[in-house]
Chain A
């Protein structure tokens, strides 16, 4: 049976466009605020929601997501909050996945975590620091639960290793556009299109580009060669800078609408 995520890509392929995936950490700016942000993003036209599991040592994340994670963790966010945000997102009808560093999964229990993702309507999990070599138990667990294991690849990943990683990936391949941490950038690296081409040479899975996308123009550019555009830090920055919750929700909604246009203008 296909996951909701796989169905999203069937739909966007049929519409000959890229999908828009929005990232928001669970419990940020607080539990209710996160739920409202999810609703605002979905209403504005995103195709999938990526719920971040805030972690104490986020080595892949730049200052914006670090700050959001710290706020969320200070508010007491735990696994239950992640699953409840996931449930809220999937209930809106879009595809929903979780992105998390590995240790919280291991602590929760590998099988139990995969099962809770499935039970709350999640389509898969992005695991940015889980290598293929350490994935044995995880791949078994996600396969048993019918969810997608989503791996991140980088411009420095060799062709041979890309083939190895994508052969174990489900849902989509997450292509990190640059060498570096998350965060909005003024331009999306030229590495990104080359990486997407190299990934596509190894798999028929959709390829999503993340890291650094924050504008309609960038989304349009990425949409010319990728199957999805992932935006995170740009939304979080708006929420962090907003003077009120309402202003924050309005600003992320406006940006999501612009990005949704961008992903439709690429082809």
Chain B
């Protein structure tokens, strides 16, 4: 199998590339050059590694989930604990890298979009740490669902702009951030939070997250003496999934399985499972799978998880799907919430609702693969931010 992971124009097979106004080309070129230089710059790499060691809390540990595994056909379940990172999710890996690049480019202001608020909080954190001005665009609907994270961002000194256009969720927050960027591109870096968007974002954000897979591949080998049978992660835009998948792509015996948000069920049309239920198209500057109607208008996505509630997906996932290197399945809201509850009660870990989709996938895939299998799951974020949503869902009075 020949796998092309990004040409010079940022293509993954027929996906990726750049579909943006000319006004942004200069900034994208500048960012690409800064990223390429940083990749081989020992000083940059040492600076980022030191931040990860002393600030993020890397390497993140592996936890074996034995009691949870009893519900997954007895397969061995290993959790990569990105939830233990500073700010509570994998998102910090990317923002520290991009914040360092922002300083190298001499820009003083960052903008970011956020759905669940994980990336917004991470961006506000990195901006605070490095003395950058930070504006976060967040759909008005999401500011309501994730009020705690809005307060967090404000405490960290960021300005949070509620977006009132369109579906008032992540997609519209990205539109608004792109409008800001087109206007203020000379002074501002757009700290995109996932592996989507125009080149070089999908490649660059992946490069900042691939440490998840690199660490866990070594950790699993050390623990079990062999590679896992399957690596699982939830997929919205796909940053935590590509982060843990990437190091395993050449290991063709390792199944890579992305769990998308099935919402009320793909058959209902109310979901965010872009690969499972969408088609090839262009959204937010990249060619990928998109939820769209017959005229190419984006269809609003639906998920109990604000962080997965996005009608596009990273182009590298679209490509890995088409060539059969990774597989993608949908997990409905109810299955995700059942897995959420199960992890709380069997392991004493409250996961993010995003992450619960991967856990729900593990319950099914563990049974398919049997008791001799080992599953590595990216526990991409912690669930503190979701307590309100979960309490509502389970009928716990607050």
Listed in ascending order, the chain A residues whose CB lies under 8 Å from chain B are 55-60, 62, 66, 70, 73, 78-79, 102-108, 128-131, 133-134, 151-158, 161, 165, 176, 179-181
Alpha-carbon distance A183/B148, docked complex (angstroms): 35
**Out of B166, B183, B285, which one reaches A129, CB within 8 Å?**
B285
Q: Are A179 and B283 in contact (CB under 8 A)?
A: no
Residues of B within 8 Å of A57, CB to CB, are 166, 171, 175, 283-284, 298
Q: Are A129 and B20 in contact (CB under 8 A)?
A: yes
Residues of B within 8 Å of A157, CB to CB, are 22-23, 25-26
Q: Are B281 and A103 in contact (CB under 8 A)?
A: yes
Residues of B within 8 Å of A133, CB to CB, are 9, 17-18
Most chain B CB neighbours (cut-off 10 Å) among A59, A66, A155, A179 = A59
Residues of A within 8 Å of B182, CB to CB, are 59-60, 179-181
**Residues A66 and B294 in contact in the complex (CB < 8 Å), given A134-B18, A154-B23, A156-B23:** no
Alpha-carbon distance A107/B179, docked complex (angstroms): 24
**Out of A62, A104, A130, A152, which one reaches B295, CB within 8 Å?**
A104
Residues of B within 8 Å of A179, CB to CB, are 23, 182-186
**Out of B175, B295, B296, which one reaches A59, CB within 8 Å?**
B175
- Closest A residue to B280 using CB positions: A106
Residues of B within 8 Å of A103, CB to CB, are 281-283, 290, 292, 296, 298
Q: Are B23 and A176 in contact (CB under 8 A)?
A: yes
**Out of B26, B285, B297, which one reaches A156, CB within 8 Å?**
B26
**Out of B25, B175, B184, which one reaches A161, CB within 8 Å?**
B25
Q: Are B292 and A131 in contact (CB under 8 A)?
A: no
Alpha-carbon distance A180/B21, docked complex (angstroms): 10
Instruction: Tell whether B96 is near chain A: CB-to-CB under 8 Å.
Output: no
For residue A137, give the distance in angstroms from its CB to the closest CB of chain B: 11
Alpha-carbon distance A117/B298, docked complex (angstroms): 23
Alpha-carbon distance A19/B139, docked complex (angstroms): 41
- Closest A residue to B300 using CB positions: A56
- Closest B residue to A129 using CB positions: B19
Q: Are B282 and A102 in contact (CB under 8 A)?
A: yes
Leading 3 A-B pairs by shortest Cβ distance = A107-B296, A154-B23, A104-B296
**Residues A56 and B23 in contact in the complex (CB < 8 Å), given A102-B282, A103-B283, A179-B183:** no
Instruction: Report B171-182 CB contacts with A as 1/0, cut-off 8 Å.
Output: 100010011001
Alpha-carbon distance A130/B183, docked complex (angstroms): 19
Alpha-carbon distance A264/B136, docked complex (angstroms): 45
8 A–B contacts from the bound complex (CB under 8 Å): A70-B165, A129-B19, A133-B18, A154-B23, A179-B23, A179-B185, A179-B186, A181-B183
Beyond the given pairs A57-B284, A70-B165, A176-B21, 12 more chain A to chain B contacts, judged by CB atoms under 8 angstroms and listed by A's residue number, are A57-B283, A59-B179, A62-B179, A103-B282, A104-B295, A107-B292, A108-B296, A129-B19, A129-B285, A157-B25, A161-B25, A179-B183
Residues of A within 8 Å of B284, CB to CB, are 57, 59
Q: Are B186 and A165 in contact (CB under 8 A)?
A: no
- Closest B residue to A54 using CB positions: B297
Alpha-carbon distance A151/B218, docked complex (angstroms): 49
**Out of A62, A107, A152, A155, which one reaches B294, CB within 8 Å?**
A107
Alpha-carbon distance A60/B285, docked complex (angstroms): 12
Residues of A within 8 Å of B18, CB to CB, are 131, 133-134
Q: Are B297 and A55 in contact (CB under 8 A)?
A: yes
Alpha-carbon distance A241/B316, docked complex (angstroms): 45
Q: Are A104 and B183 in contact (CB under 8 A)?
A: no
Residues of B within 8 Å of A66, CB to CB, are 165
Alpha-carbon distance A109/B145, docked complex (angstroms): 39
Q: Are A56 and B20 in contact (CB under 8 A)?
A: no
Q: Are B281 and A107 in contact (CB under 8 A)?
A: yes
Alpha-carbon distance A136/B100, docked complex (angstroms): 36
Residues of A within 8 Å of B178, CB to CB, are 59
**Out of A104, A151, A161, A176, which one reaches B297, CB within 8 Å?**
A104
Residues of B within 8 Å of A131, CB to CB, are 17-20, 22, 25
Residues of B within 8 Å of A181, CB to CB, are 179, 182-183
Alpha-carbon distance A157/B22, docked complex (angstroms): 7
For residue A102, give the distance in angstroms from its CB to the closest CB of chain B: 5
